[in-house]
Amino acid sequence: MLSAVETKLPTLEDLRNLSGSDLAVMSKLAGDLKERLKKHVAIDPYTANDPFEDQDQYSYSIIIDWQHMKRVIAIIASEKGSVPQLPWNEILRDTYMRLPTSKDEAKGIKHELMPKDTNNFFGYRRSTKVAGYVMFASQICGLN
């Protein structure tokens, strides 16, 4: 089993070289991930501004396909200090891997997959309070 320490984020070049089949699989996996997340959070039905403001209030992570690590399934911006933490082992199981990343890396990956400048992320809530934002691969309508 690979650890997150041994795994690298896909490069922008990797993302540019994704095939139509990759995008279809990413979309399907994103739908599955969304359903798993819904067991633990409420996902807003509308999108919000992208969470890349100057303030440093989020921890960023990329969810990738465990079997094909070039496939990005989701980008998550979690409110720092959000308690309790999501049960990631239960959500990801043996299908996905969650890789922590910087704001700049998350923003670069988001821009490559979703070139639209803003309103690409859905808020997610725990106990009615926004705990973070998520963008799913199923929202991709083409590559940059």
pLDDT digits (tens, 9 = 90+) for 13-22: 999 999 999 9
Longest dimension (CA), the chain: 40
pLDDT of 3 over the 50 cut:
no
Predicted TM-score (pTM) above 0.75: yes
65/71 Cα distance (integer angstroms)? 6
Phi, psi of 81 (to 5 degrees): 80, 10
pLDDT digits (tens, 9 = 90+) for 66-85: 999 999 999 999 998 876 78
35/51 Cα distance (integer angstroms)? 22
